[in-house]
Amino acid sequence: MRSDAVVDVQRMVHGGVALARLDTGEVVLVEGAVPGEVVGVALERRKGVLRGTTVEVRVRSGHRVEPPEHPGLDYGHIAYEHQLRLKREVVVDALRRAFGAPKQDGEAEADHPDLPEVPEVAPSPQIWAYRNVVQPAVVWEQGAMHLGYRRSGTHEVVPLASDPVATAEVNGAYTVVQDVLTLATGPGRDGPRVREVVIRANQEGEALVALVGRGPAGAAVDLGHRLVDAGIAGVAWAESDPRGRFRRGVERVAGRRTVLQRFNHLTLSLAATSFSQPNALGAAALYLELTAWAGRGASALDLYAGGGAIAFHLADRFAEVTALEVESGAVARGRTDAGRLGLDNVTFVRGNAGRLDPPTGYDVVVVDPPRAGLSADVRDALVAGDFDRLVYVSCDAATWARDVADLHVKGLELRRVKPFDLFPHTHHVELLSLLERVP
């Protein structure tokens, strides 16, 4: 591929791309580059934004390393220690912009008087082989089925024999799935057409698989039993839907529904498609820090609670913990786990945090919303509450910065922030923050 332009790479920005400028001054967002490099890029305009793909490196950064084959690791070409520094810079920049003091190109970093210091990003306990759940796509080549991942912005699937960021237990199941699906599905065979696969495995090697494809669940029963016979603990089926993988629901077709995943001293029930932090060791460290920041008291409220990982960690610090979650399956698993763990002070309530009334009667509220962050209505409800401390966990620096800036000026001031790297070799960073009510 030829270079359409040669650019000086200035800095990383949110989303896993670097910022550069053409000779005309127009901004271009560059994939596959490291700040400080001079690179040749192939240009493409997407949704009004000029994007560049690095096709040659003319001046190489000392932080560049050989990238893995996995196309989804957008920081994979950067040495790990430098990844952490770049992620911190992105968080600082997001905060400055949200508080109205954007860093200009080439400007040295300076503290904003209203912002707490952002410390170094806490590294992942494992740099590779850390994910306990993966979602590869299916591709057929030369009569064999392969699992792999799509290149950014395309439908092209890069086949991989194994996943470098998946745990050994997940990769063991990954191989089983490839072998069984090659024999049971595909052209000329009666099995269902599988498009994607979700693979989850716990520390004991018990694996769950969810198959995503065309047709009803009944067509996947035989395939599910083949996978169970090959050592998979349980198999579910989800009919593919252009609106999202699981919009039409998930149905068990063979074996178990859940496995137990360990986080510190707790074991939680997870289905193949449950929302849970995929880096169990990194999440465990974050949860311990979170409980220390939350303090102690009579009552705590956990919003967007999922299956209760945060709520259960708060159980020995608060007399009562209420976990609010909209997804019925997560609520059911949470209630079952509370009974199994003997935590009768944790109560799961099914409800939509997006329609939150002002929380009253709590010492602390914890929020761990989806990537889109908190809606304006939820932020206003939190401000109208009477609790003293808000602990905010986020997986998106931009929406988190927007939210904490809004809450800060309305009376819940940002006091502390700590970034955690739960997704090495990607641009994602997990943020733990503490806000306190100002009289």
Instruction: Report how far Cα 327 is from the mean position of its chain's Cα atoms.
Output: 18
Q: DSSP states of 319-352 as a string? A: EEEEEEES-HHHHHHHHHHHHHHT-TTEEEEE--
pLDDT of residue 184: 79
Can you name the residues that pair with 28 across neighbouring β-strands? 20
Distance in Å from the first CA to the final CA of the chain: 60
Is pLDDT at 297 greater than 70 in this prediction?
Answer: yes
- By the 10 Å C-beta count (0-12 exposed, 13-18 middle, 19+ buried), 12 is classed as buried
Average pLDDT, the chain: 93
Question: CATH code for 279-437?
Answer: 3.40.50.150
Q: Tens of pLDDT along 47-92?
A: 889 999 999 999 999 999 999 999 999 999 999 999 999 999 999 9
Query: Can you tell me the mean pLDDT for 20-33?
Result: 96
Among 28-32, 138-142, 262-266, 423-427, the minimum mean pLDDT is found in: 138-142
Q: Yes or no: is domain 5-64 CATH 2.40.50.140?
A: yes
Is pLDDT at 143 greater than 80 in this prediction?
Answer: no
Q: Tens of pLDDT along 377-412?
A: 999 999 999 999 999 999 999 999 999 999 999 999
Query: Can you tell me the mean pLDDT for 327-353?
Result: 97
Is pLDDT at 109 greater than 80 in this prediction?
Answer: no
Q: Report domain extents, the chain.
A: 5-64, 133-261, 279-437
Among 56-60, 211-215, 324-328, 425-429, the minimum mean pLDDT is found in: 211-215
The one catalytic residue among 18, 160, 321, 395: 395
pLDDT band at 190 (very low <50, low <70, confident <90, very high): low
Q: Which of 41, 68, 119 has the alpha carbon at shortest distance from 426?
A: 68
Read off the pTM: 0.94
Query: Can you tell me the mean pLDDT for 225-246?
Result: 90
pLDDT band at 249 (very low <50, low <70, confident <90, very high): confident
Query: Can you tell me whether residue 282 is helix, strand or coil?
Result: helix
CA atoms of 94 and 261, how far apart (whole Å): 33
Look at the domain 133-261 and name its fold: OB fold (Dihydrolipoamide Acetyltransferase, E2P) (2.40.50)
Reply yes or no on whether 395 is catalytic: yes
Is pLDDT at 110 greater than 60 in this prediction?
Answer: no
Q: Give the list of residues 6+ apart from residue 33 with CB closer than 8 angstroms, or none.
A: 9, 18, 20, 39, 41, 54, 57
Query: Can you tell me the mean pLDDT for 174-198?
Result: 82
Is pLDDT at 241 greater than 80 in this prediction?
Answer: no
Q: Tens of pLDDT along 31-41?
A: 999 999 999 99
Is pLDDT at 171 greater than 50 in this prediction?
Answer: yes
- What's the residue count for the chain? 439
Is pLDDT at 246 greater than 90 in this prediction?
Answer: no
- Percent of the chain's residues with pLDDT above 70: 95
Instruction: Tell me if 133-261 shares its fold with 279-437.
Output: no
